[in-house]
Amino acid sequence: QILIFDFGSQYTQLIARRVRELNVYCEILPYNNEILNNAESLTNVKGIILSGSPCSVLDTGAPTFPLAKFQGKVPLLGVCYGAQLMAHKAGGKVQPSATREYGRANLHFVQSNATLFKNIPSNSQVWMSHGDSIIDIPEGFEILASTASVKVGGYKIANQDTYGIQFHPEVTHTTEGKQLLQNFVVDICGCEQTWTPDSFIETTVAELKAQIGNDKVVLGLSGGVDSSVAAVLLHQAIGKNLYAIFVDNGLLRKDEFEEVLESYKGMGLNVTGVDAKQDFYDVLTGLKDPEQKRKAIGGKFIDVFQAEANKIQGVKWLGQGTIYPDIIESVSVKGPSATIKSHHNVGGLPEKMDLKVVEPLNTLFKDEVRRVGKSLEIDDKILGRHPFPGPGLAIRILSDITPEKVDILQQVDAIFINGLKTSGLYDDVWQAGAMLLPVQSVGVMGDERTYENVVALRAVHSLDGMTADWVHLPYEFLAETSNKIINKVKGVNRVVYDISSKPPATIEWE
Ligand code: XMP
């Protein structure tokens, strides 16, 4: 495998995804991870990539790395900060650039036959994003490539497989970035490109069998991609010893509980559906604050789940659909970032239940989970689902929750989402939904004045929910949807469309 050491760059996860796309397994670790003190645990490592960073190597206390342990023994690739760090430590000169270089540049080769640049045409476009530059390289370093404004665009240490590049091969604006990473991980590190969804399934199922044996596992299903794929993997490993629980918290989409429960049963899963709608409405009564609503829902879920799990005699494990981005230790070299919204819906579950935790997907990115799900022949309806927040419609009904409001929003949401599906727009949108606003407005229906609710529709494009753009849905579609909603849903007389991006707005309204 390849290890990527993270110095806090916003692009580190992208490096991992690009390497995985080459069917080579890799992991991200913080630059100061304790594994570095334990050389034996690194024997399977075929290559190391050092990421970029918001820091400067010139800062006092800048993050550093025990290079001497690896240089000349394992192939190394420094990207941006990683490249500067290696040059700086070897006595090269790194200096702040007059202006921060951010954007496209073109690469010229100084050496024509470097393995790192194999099959990459001269003049190809690369993406730069750096405040410092390497001005002079140390002795024993060879410049491989430059750009118009950066002399040391790429270097190699003579007689070693140690490379540094100033640009970012992981972003798509570096047109040959994938080829460069392939040159590094395949040609230089000698990795085989055998890590595929099928090989993942085969090894994971075998590992789960060995790990769990004849024990029983309980797992909460949400209808989403992650918990569904985790359940099917566990089911393949341990069959009926997997006890899946699907809770109706009364905050799901219209008819979702029944439909999803049916498809789980169709997949052969041993699943129990629990109708706890009223319990959730009870704890939500009168709560208006979004964070309080989230806490109440998270707490109630734990109670309901625990009560159901207690009915399973001798259960030893808790299965979870945790995926890789949830567990990558984020390096906060710039200090901890503020919590905007707490997303840890069921954070306290493992601690409270005194069960061992098994997380079969905790090495996978979201798109990889989908690919594994496809190989497992899970229904496209489940795999292609838009993300849906754990607290469900509760954070789309602004202010307090009542069953009546849930009913209104479910009807509105169903019209919108079904419309997206029948118009062929659903798969082009990353996430969509409707919000019920705590606002009434005047309208006219027939000869009568109405004073009813306003709903907002929201549809966004995004990669991972961290940033998002509003989708320019066709006006005809919006007109038709608005008409249908106002005509069919009693209690709504006005529809608006949210045209805010994230940041500065967020995807959900609460
Ligand atoms: P925001 O609103 O923070 O949403 O831009 C980003 C993504 O996270 C989802 N989201 C949540 N998911 N529990 C969840 O499981 C939550 O409390 C929660 N709040 C927001 C949101 O739907 C979007 O996909």
pLDDT at position 500 over 60: yes
Q: Are residues 376 and 419 in the same domain?
A: no
pLDDT for position 337: 38
The mean per-residue pLDDT over the stretch 259-279 comes to 96
Round to whole Å and give the CA distance between 96 and 101.
10
14-23, 25-34, 92-101, 396-405: segment of lowest average pLDDT: 92-101
Q: Are residues 179 and 284 in the same domain?
A: no
Whether 506 is in a domain gets the answer no
Whether 349 is in a domain gets the answer yes
Domain boundary among 315, 349, 383: 383
CA-nearest of 487, 494, 422 to 452 is 494
Q: Are residues 409 and 353 in the same domain?
A: no
Q: Which long-range contacts (CB under 8 A, 24 or more apart) does 325-332 make?
A: 325/13, 325/365, 325/366, 325/464, 326/362, 327/362, 328/6, 328/13, 328/28, 329/29, 329/30, 329/33, 331/6, 331/7, 331/8, 331/30, 331/31, 331/63, 332/8
Round to whole Å and give the CA distance between 52 and 60.
17
Mean pLDDT in the chain?
93
Catalytic site residues? Answer: 80, 168, 170
CA-nearest of 309, 288, 403 to 352 is 309
Domain boundaries, position 419: 396-497
Whether 389 is in a domain gets the answer no
Q: Is 228 annotated as a binding residue?
A: yes
Distance 385 CA to ligand 1 centre (A): 15
Q: Are residues 421 and 305 in the same domain?
A: no
- Give the position, in ligand 1's atom list, of the atom nearest the Cα of 390: 15
Q: Are residues 97 and 147 in the same domain?
A: yes
The mean per-residue pLDDT over the stretch 145-154 comes to 94
- Give the position, in ligand 1's atom list, of the atom nearest the Cα of 506: 5
Give the Å distances, CA to CA, from 504 to 191, 340, 399: 42, 12, 21
Whether 504 is in a domain gets the answer no
Q: What CATH number corresponds to the domain at position 370?
A: 3.40.50.620
pLDDT for position 459: 98
Whether 509 is in a domain gets the answer no
pLDDT for position 464: 79
Domain count, the chain: 3
Domain boundary among 153, 188, 223: 188
Q: Between 342 and 93, name the one with better pLDDT.
A: 93
Q: Is the ipTM, as predicted for this complex, more than 0.90?
A: yes
Q: Is 222 annotated as a binding residue?
A: yes
Tokens standing for 32?
Answer: 């100061």
Of 507, 509, 510, the one to substitute when testing ligand 1's pocket (max ligand atoms within 8 A of C-beta) is 507
Q: What CATH number corresponds to the domain at position 465?
A: 3.30.300.10
Q: Are residues 439 and 355 in the same domain?
A: no
Q: What CATH number corresponds to the domain at position 35?
A: 3.40.50.880
Strand partners, 445: 448
Whether 375 is in a domain gets the answer yes
Answer yes or no: are the C-beta atoms of 134 and 126 closer than 8 Å.
no
Whether 378 is in a domain gets the answer yes
Task: Using DSSP, state whether 104 is helix, strand or coil.
Answer: strand
pLDDT for position 125: 96
Round to whole Å and give the CA distance between 48 and 62.
20
Tokens standing for 509?
Answer: 């309204």
pLDDT for position 334: 46
Of 294, 341, 510, the one to substitute when testing ligand 1's pocket (max ligand atoms within 8 A of C-beta) is 341
Distance 389 CA to ligand 1 centre (A): 5
pLDDT for position 320: 94
Round to whole Å and give the CA distance between 318 and 304.
15
Domain boundary among 383, 406, 440: 383
- Give the position, in ligand 1's atom list, of the atom nearest the Cα of 509: 2
Instruction: Please give the DSSP secondary-structure letter assigned to residue 172.
Output: T
Q: Is 47 annotated as a binding residue?
A: no
pLDDT for position 97: 85
- Give the position, in ligand 1's atom list, of the atom nearest the Cα of 345: 13
Label residue 338 by pLDDT band (50, 70, 90): very low
pLDDT digits (tens, 9 = 90+) for 295-307: 999 999 999 999 9
Buried residues in 449-460 as b, exposed as e (16+ CB within 10 A): ebebbbbbbbbb
Q: Are residues 151 and 184 in the same domain?
A: yes
The mean per-residue pLDDT over the stretch 227-245 comes to 98
The mean per-residue pLDDT over the stretch 219-234 comes to 96
Q: Is 223 annotated as a binding residue?
A: yes
Protein residue closest via CA to atom 20 of ligand 1: 389
Q: Is 441 annotated as a binding residue?
A: no
Q: Is 225 annotated as a binding residue?
A: yes
69-78, 213-222, 329-338: segment of lowest average pLDDT: 329-338
Protein residue closest via CA to atom 6 of ligand 1: 465
Distance 473 CA to ligand 1 centre (A): 22
Round to whole Å and give the CA distance between 189 and 192.
9
- Give the position, in ligand 1's atom list, of the atom nearest the Cα of 508: 2
Distance 438 CA to ligand 1 centre (A): 20
Q: Are residues 146 and 220 in the same domain?
A: no
Q: Is 375 annotated as a binding residue?
A: no
Round to whole Å and give the CA distance between 150 and 98.
12
pLDDT digits (tens, 9 = 90+) for 72-123: 999 999 999 999 999 999 999 999 987 778 899 999 999 989 999 999 999 9
Q: Are residues 171 and 201 in the same domain?
A: no
Of 295, 326, 343, the one to substitute when testing ligand 1's pocket (max ligand atoms within 8 A of C-beta) is 343
- Give the position, in ligand 1's atom list, of the atom nearest the Cα of 341: 3
Q: Are residues 183 and 201 in the same domain?
A: no
Distance 330 CA to ligand 1 centre (A): 18
Distance 508 CA to ligand 1 centre (A): 6
Q: Are residues 150 and 248 in the same domain?
A: no
Protein residue closest via CA to atom 4 of ligand 1: 507
**Which amino acid makes up residue 227?**
S
Protein residue closest via CA to atom 10 of ligand 1: 389
pLDDT at position 475 over 50: yes
Strand partners, 469: 461
- CA contacts within 13 A on the Cβ side of 40: 0
The binding-site residues of ligand 1, defined as CB within 6 angstroms of any ligand atom, are 294, 341, 343, 345, 387, 389-391, 395, 431, 465, 502, 506-508
Distance 206 CA to ligand 1 centre (A): 34
Q: Are residues 285 and 241 in the same domain?
A: yes
pLDDT for position 335: 37
pLDDT for position 39: 75
pLDDT at position 376 over 50: yes
Whether 95 is in a domain gets the answer yes
Protein residue closest via CA to atom 7 of ligand 1: 465
Protein residue closest via CA to atom 22 of ligand 1: 389
Tokens standing for 74?
Answer: 């394992």
pLDDT at position 34 over 60: yes
